[in-house]
Chain A
């Protein structure tokens, strides 16, 4: 598609049937259509027959519109929500093995402490730190650790959840009934 808003990162929540092959359907969609996927995480929900994915995708308005429509078109996809412009909370967990030579052990611990990172493994020459946070926090942590010598880094990919409503409403995790076609541009609902 032509023009539209410039490319930016979108965080998309996808509820899928917890069935054989569903992950490869989603991953296959991205490779087949040439979309860029920055991270993907999956896990079961309260309802064990439903899994929830969090996808981080970069693209302009039109790419993201196609991504959400194409995701929704997959038969096993129950619901697609673009959380980017909705109020939501997002977190990622990282494990970082960092140099811990005598001269910088204290510095590593200080940094870890500031970011509320936990030391989960210790050897004479290294620490493994565990940290959670949003992208900004984790980037800042890494920024400070890098000069001290990061040996290896593993990230879970982002998970995101919409924030609760301000008033109390009871809400099933997966809506069963149509939001209906009152808004013709809504593509995110299967029923």
Chain B
């Protein structure tokens, strides 16, 4: 017996193990919403703007390891979704996005709410499909989930013409997905792994640089095993945070543009650098010819195109982080039997001492003030109050960097941030997706006053669905990150950064049915946070912070990572930064 394409879509989702979808209806997908009316086993969360559906799916996916799903209609809904698709592409987040489309016979006719959906999403998805026949629905949805979640994860878009949804057809459900054109490599090359093991053990100044791939492949345990065995210090990218516990003495915290002094110094002076699931992004490398100039580089990545893209790699290992790290641990054990490590033992002691010296010389820090709230202090308190166990989501800007620097991450999959695209407005909707997946965990959205206002309408979704996101706005009355660049790089010619009056965020929260709290003095920070975390349901805390506080260290874009600006620069240092800046 056949069923409507619409019902088939829901049936397929259920078979794929989906329990939650984020969406917003409209003409072209009404058949699906009609089927949803009495369909059991799928929870639909109605967002207020389609980009939010995409981000919510990202939050769901990143924290659960499952594929996130969103569903929106044709035309303007599909174009609204584009930002989230590109975001997921840049950060390798597995989501499957469904859009409605005008009936097949009208495609290309400038029909009502028509857009060339697959044409528009082609460059911002890992892959996309236009379904032209109901019999293809099963196989295509199966392939979509397979592609999204395997290899280098990413967003997949499925465009559904209305007639395909209405017509009845036989459900075709292949038990296994076989694609001759798509077969990611999971196992690393044994010879290369052995070479890597030898290099690591002979290294005098080794560093591990761990990225988002460690999270995507759930390889934290394997990473920890390797570090325990080799005692090599570890730095993490923005996307990798949580891959390695920051409380471990071998943690160097984040590297890169706003990375720690000691991470950047250690990487720069390393003689062997092991990159795991990281892609040598320009925010990490700074000027490429000055990045780890004396290091032999080992790179583990599942995507061959990540390897030797920006930096020439000496030992490329194509494969899944988890499996390769496991094999690497075994290879290192094997090598240790021959006691090759003794060669480097003395040098390694000196290296550890050198790193300790860098940590002592320039730890992360800020100046306390009795009157004005320092944003870093707020993050420190969130970290302490939640014992590094909360699910943390951010917007984009200074507050995001402070969250990365001052929250003490312990676990993988508890951190969502827009790294590659830097999407302001990512915070609240993503946190919503996290809260939907983890109703019993504390979800904190550390947001900027600018970023928050790009998707603040989602407070309504949070309230309606009791998604208990605790949003903490580091309110610096404007685009702080831009203020910082204009001050340091553009000679203080401030332009278009200050918000005249922002809305009263406490009242705004109230208007949406959420709880609003304000803190304007340092002594109010902890009580406000405690109250927020103890109050059920969605809460917003509006924390008025010092708008002249900047994020340090800072490597001006295009500068070398050793040329960090460590504190508010004087004239001469600003001129130098302006000159060093060759990138963006």
Contact = CB atoms under 8 A, between A and B. Distances in A.
Given A66-B309, A181-B185, A181-B189, A25 B317 contact: no
Contacts of B147: 75
Contact of A185 (B118, B181, B312, B316): B316
B192 A191 contact: no
A76 B147 CA distance: 11
Contacts of A24: 119, 122
Contacts of A182: 189
B81 interface: no
Contacts of A66: 305, 309
Of the four ranges (under 10, 10 to 19, 20 to 34, 35 or more), the interface on chain A belongs to: 20 to 34
B584 interface: no
Given A1-B310, A2-B288, A190 B123 contact: no
A16 to B, nearest CB: 7
B82 interface: no
A191 B316 contact: no
A75 B182 contact: yes
Contacts of A75: 126-127, 147, 179, 181-182
Contacts of B546: none
Contact of B305 (A69, A184, A185): A69
Nearest to B178: A191
B304 A190 contact: no
A174 B309 CA distance: 28
A176 B288 contact: no
Given A16-B181, A24-B122, A75-B182, A184 B192 contact: yes
Contacts of A25: 122
A63 B123 CA distance: 19
A78 B181 contact: yes
Contacts, number: 68
A6 to B, nearest CB: 17
B99 to A, nearest CB: 15
A191 B183 contact: yes
A49 to B, nearest CB: 9
Given A73-B305, A75-B182, A184-B192, A1 B312 contact: yes
B303 interface: yes
A72 B122 contact: no
B289 interface: yes
Interface in B167-207: 179-183, 185, 187-189, 191-192
Interface string B144-167: 000100000000000000000000
B130 interface: yes
A75 B126 CA distance: 8
Nearest to B143: A75
Contacts of B180: 78, 174, 176, 190-191
A69 B185 CA distance: 13
B289 A2 contact: yes
A60 to B, nearest CB: 13
B318 interface: yes
A21 interface: yes
A17 B119 contact: no
A28 B318 contact: no
A12 interface: no
B183 A187 contact: no
Contacts of B122: 21, 24-25, 28
A37 to B, nearest CB: 16
Contacts of B80: none
Nearest to B311: A1
A181 B318 contact: yes
Contacts of B132: 20
Contacts of B182: 75, 190
CB-CB nearest 4 A-B residue pairs:
A69-B305, A75-B127, A191-B183, A78-B181
Given A69-B304, A70-B305, 4 more contacts: A16-B181, A75-B147, A176-B180, A181-B185
